[in-house]
Each structure stands twice: as C-alpha cells, then as structure tokens.
Amino acid sequence: MGYAPPWPNGRQSGDMRVLVIDDEPDVLLLCRVNLEIAGHEVVEASDGLAALALARSASPDVIVLDVMLPHLDGLSVLADLEADERTSGTPVILLTAKTQIEDRLAGWRAGCSDYVTKPFSPVALTDVVERTAAMSTDERDAMRWRELERLSGSH
C-alpha cells in the first residue's frame, strides 16, 4: 500500500470521518454503505440541531448536508458552521433535491464546498467527498467563486 497523506485531523486518507445529515433513512443508509465500503467512518444526524452538535463534537473531515431538514434547515446549519471557528474550515457538500439555479446560488453563497442534487449516484458522491477533502481551503474557495460566477451568468 502506498503512502496516504494525513488529513487535517491526523487520520489517514482511508480513515476519513464523514458526517452525513439527512432526514431520509434510505439516503443515510445509501451514503453510509458506500462511504464505509470506501474505508471511511460515517457519523449520522437526521435533523439540523443534532447536526450542529455532532459537527462540533465528532470533528468530521467532511460534512454531507441535506438542505430540507427538520428543526433547522441545511442552509441555516451551514451558516452556523461557517460562523463557528471550530467548524468553519470543514468542507460541506450540500446533497439536496433543490435543483433550481436560485437554490444552487443560495448554497454556494452560504459557503458550500460542492452541490450534489438528488437523485444521486452514491459512488459519485463518495468521489466528491474524497475530492473535496483533498482540496485546500483556497482550492475550495476558488471552485465556489467559479460556480457562483457560472450560475450568476446563467439566469
């Protein structure tokens, strides 16, 4: 086995911790199975308030976040994560059924690192999680600005 660069929290690349937040049990299961097959640890929450608590206590490497959640919606969760110095550097991938350009713009403006729409390929999501985790903060910011520019010009 080759050298695996450590993730920011000191774990190795095959041992990434991913927090998946979705109120649909089938989506949680699909994400968990595929991420675990890829060698990652999965922590789950099914509402926005539980998500914030877990994001602060579990120190995930990446967060996969649904937008439509009970108790606190995903964009509000993302805003809270961005405002908290303990979680502001953690990449957040929005996984949502909201597909309109305005929805995408809202997600990118809120600070997401990537935007994946449902229905989705769990294998492709795993690739997005791994790619996003491997990017520097500057690379994620540059991607966000490119997406905002592209989406702003398309409506």
Q: Return the domain boundaries, the chain.
A: 13-152
Residue range 97-113: mean pLDDT, rounded: 94
Tell me how far apart the alpha carbons of residues 15 and 7 are, in angstroms, rounded to a whole number. Answer: 9
Residue range 45-58: mean pLDDT, rounded: 97
79 and 51 Cβ atoms separated by less than 8 Å: no
Position 122 pLDDT exceeds 60: yes
Tell me how far apart the alpha carbons of residues 119 and 109 are, in angstroms, rounded to a whole number. Answer: 22
Grade residue 155 by pLDDT with cuts at 50, 70 and 90: low
Residue range 18-22: mean pLDDT, rounded: 98
Please state which of the ranges 5-9, 68-72, 92-96, 134-138 shows the lowest mean pLDDT.
5-9
Please tell me the predicted confidence (pLDDT) of residue 2: 34
59: DSSP letter:
-
Q: Where are the alpha helices (DSSP H) in 2-100?
A: 25-37, 48-57, 74-83
Please tell me the predicted confidence (pLDDT) of residue 153: 84
Architecture of the domain made up of 13-152: 3-Layer(aba) Sandwich (3.40)
Residue range 121-147: mean pLDDT, rounded: 95
Residue 145 or 12, more confident: 145
Residue range 119-131: mean pLDDT, rounded: 95
Residue 94 or 9, more confident: 94
Residue range 29-36: mean pLDDT, rounded: 97
